[in-house]
Structure 1
């Protein structure tokens, strides 16, 4: 299908479209790159795919070439809807939703097990990830592009400079790894930073939503004052007594506590 379409740059020029800085847009126009991302995300084996922030549809073209089933696009910027409609082969496989992904109910868009594959807008990437990891709807896998710094925060280990709330919450819910690095030059317009693709598979034993809420509370307090000992940073939540109930050294600092330790703190908070 994509062989019958004009090159993306020509389509953008024909529609007079430029990236909007306010939307954090940086386009991937190289189909060799987008096809590699889709290969890393798959195989889909007929399962549905949701893509957020498709923009001109570079990644969308690669998804539609794949073994994905129904493909649903969520695009906030209405300027791109006519461009995306050109990708519709008329077979009912493609659905375009013009909406803010932060407000969308993905459960209403999904058809059975669904993959999320997206080059996320930089300004809302973290917020969207937290929504998908802690919300009521769970995708079967997420393959998402972030700024390199954010990607490193998602997969960081204890004692890494990047280890913090995002690592704890992400890794409590899913197995996460960086599967691809991209230089700024791969994008149009090029951002000021490099990017990376993170592949996440939700754990079968992921914490329930109540536990995740407590985990968010504990990590916010602990990493909000990460240079302090936990007896001090968690003082409003119980301090030393909370740590002892969770089997954690009250004199330890947040960056030394692994995900399992934070889950014990979250569990102890409910006692």
Structure 2
């Protein structure tokens, strides 16, 4: 811990409605703060700082600016009293992270880009936030995010595995995700019912990133929405809305209509999306 103001409200109860589970172990917090690479001199975004354990760990690594977004006024008010909030190194936004206009906030803050995103995400908003960040522009750099272990595995999954699905297709279209480390329920207060994991998502080189994520999301969502069916059946409603026959569309893209979604590679999903772009 630094000799500055310690994290506030360490005894404040977590609120189930906000999906809160807090970490206080300094060694775990340091690992999470540095999992995505060096923080010194960088702009960092943190969502759901709660009582500030990870916030302090990030600040100890000397970022140029830490933007902390917290919807719970118990914690946002306390964080605004930290010395770093007074001298401009910590910017606290008391708002639901799903409603934040990230590019506007970064521009108004004079942030150095790309920004790192480091967060112990509230369980109930983690997935939608990730999808928004995957679709973000060049302002978003590497991410180190804590999820339920099952969700982390889905993000990092490869084809022909049970965990492979829409999240993996989207995440791997623009990033290279991997699980950095896992955590048992007992590491948190209160303990969740499942293991957790920190995943690091490193942006792919610009020439390898897929530009049409909205289309990719629609196709992957339709394909995995009925994952036990052959693709020609699973994608039939999607194709019909676009005046196409699913079987012919798949064949035109060089994909076996009798295959199932979990067998398709990233390249094949991209091919389907590009055919409609």
Q: Same fold (TM over 0.5)?
A: yes
Taking structure 2 as the reference length, the TM-score comes to: 0.90
User: Distance in 2 between the 1:41 and 1:212 partners?
Assistant: 23
1:202-238 Cα deviation digits (max 9, x unpaired) = 2223122xx2111111111110111111111111313
Deviation, structure 1 residue 83: 2.4
Structure 2 counterparts to residues 1-271 of structure 1, below 5 A = 2-6=2-6, 8=7, 11-13=9-11, 17-89=12-84, 90-110=86-106, 111=111, 112-136=113-137, 138-203=139-204, 204=206, 205-208=208-211, 211-236=212-237, 237=239, 238-270=245-277
SS at match of 1:2: coil
Alpha-carbon contact 2:114-2:138 (below 8 Å) kept: no
**Residue ranges of structure 1 left out of the alignment (5+ in a row):** none
User: Distance in 1 between the 2:135 and 2:117 partners?
Assistant: 15
User: Distance in 2 between the 1:54 and 1:11 partners?
Assistant: 12
Alpha-carbon contact 2:155-2:177 (below 8 Å) kept: yes
SS at match of 2:160: coil
User: Distance in 2 between the 1:135 and 1:39 partners?
Assistant: 22
Tell me which moved more, 261-270 or 190-199: 261-270
User: CA RMSD of the aligned region, Å?
Assistant: 1.6
Aligned length: 263
SS at match of 1:167: helix
Alpha-carbon contact 1:52-1:101 (below 8 Å) kept: yes
Deviation, structure 1 residue 125: 0.4
1:237-266 Cα deviation digits (max 9, x unpaired) = 131111112111111000000111100011
Alpha-carbon contact 2:45-2:67 (below 8 Å) kept: yes
Change (3 A) 1:59 1:163: same
Deviation, structure 1 residue 98: 0.3
Deviation, structure 1 residue 138: 4.2
Alpha-carbon contact 2:9-2:75 (below 8 Å) kept: no
Alpha-carbon contact 2:117-2:140 (below 8 Å) kept: yes
User: Distance in 1 between the 2:247 and 2:259 partners?
Assistant: 10
User: Distance in 2 between the 1:88 and 1:118 partners?
Assistant: 21
Alpha-carbon contact 1:107-1:137 (below 8 Å) kept: no
1:180-215 Cα deviation digits (max 9, x unpaired) = 10111000001001100010012223122xx21111
Alpha-carbon contact 2:180-2:198 (below 8 Å) kept: yes
SS at match of 2:87: coil
